[in-house]
């Protein structure tokens, strides 16, 4: 009797210190160690019968993680080499499979460069304006009297 092959999924975050946290799943099932993982998190070995379809997914582990902020890439390898993946799924070979799910944070768009700064008066400018207004007021008072 052959041992049941396993799938192990490992998470890679780019940059590694990114705070995003996900729960990794194999065929919709979560292992104890695959909950709320960051960079280098893993499902551990998950037994899957050879010849069956395997679906690798992830879900955001908390409200602060938005998967839309990442570009995701799934790669899987078996003893024979790379495993063909279609929409996150593949046929389980008769050997163990290791998968890497890489999430790369998307770069935030640059702010528009056509912004024109609004001029403001400094404290010195305001004081000079106040002195000028005071001087004009004082000179008018002298002329009347």
- Is residue 5 within 8 Å of residue 76, measured between CB atoms? no
Tell me, yes or no, whether 122 lies in a domain: no
DSSP 47-83: E--TTSEEEEEEEESSTT--GGGEEEEEEEEETTEEP
27: left (phi over 0), alpha (psi -120 to 50) or beta: left
Tell me, yes or no, whether 39 lies in a domain: yes
- Is residue 50 within 8 Å of residue 93, measured between CB atoms? yes
Domain, as residue range, for 12 = 6-105
Domain count for the chain: 1
Residue 110 has pLDDT above 70, yes or no: no
pLDDT tens for residues 43-80?
999 999 999 999 999 999 999 899 999 999 999 999 98
Q: Mean pLDDT score of the chain, rounded to an integer?
A: 88
- 3-state secondary structure at position 138: helix
Tell me, yes or no, whether 117 lies in a domain: no
Tell me, yes or no, whether 139 lies in a domain: no
Mean per-residue pLDDT, 94-107:
95
Tell me, yes or no, whether 33 lies in a domain: yes
Where residue 19 sits, what CATH number does that domain have? 2.60.40
Residue 99 has pLDDT above 60, yes or no: yes
Residue 16 has pLDDT above 90, yes or no: yes
What pLDDT is recorded for position 1? 46
Report in angstroms the alpha-carbon separations of 10 from 89, 98, 110, 133.
16, 8, 32, 71
What pLDDT is recorded for position 85? 94
What pLDDT is recorded for position 135? 74
pLDDT tens for residues 19-46?
999 999 999 999 989 999 999 999 999 9
Tell me, yes or no, whether 125 lies in a domain: no
């Amino acid at each position: 009797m052959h041992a049941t092959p396993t799938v192990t999924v490992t998470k890679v975050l780019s940059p590694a210190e990114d705070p995003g946290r996900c729960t990794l799943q194999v065929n919709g099932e979560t292992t104890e160690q695959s909950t709320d993982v960051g960079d280098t998190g893993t499902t551990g070995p998950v037994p899957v019968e050879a010849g069956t379809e395997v679906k690798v997914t992830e879900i955001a582990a908390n409200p602060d993680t938005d998967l839309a902020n990442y570009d995701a890439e799934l790669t899987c390898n078996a003893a024979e080499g790379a495993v063909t993946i279609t929409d996150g799924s593949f046929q389980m070979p008769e050997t163990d499979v290791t998968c890497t799910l890489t999430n790369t944070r998307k770069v935030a768009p640059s702010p528009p460069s056509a912004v024109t700064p609004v001029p403001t008066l400094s404290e010195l400018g305001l004081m000079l304006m106040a002195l000028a207004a005071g001087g004009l007021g004082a000179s008018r008072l002298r002329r009347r009297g």
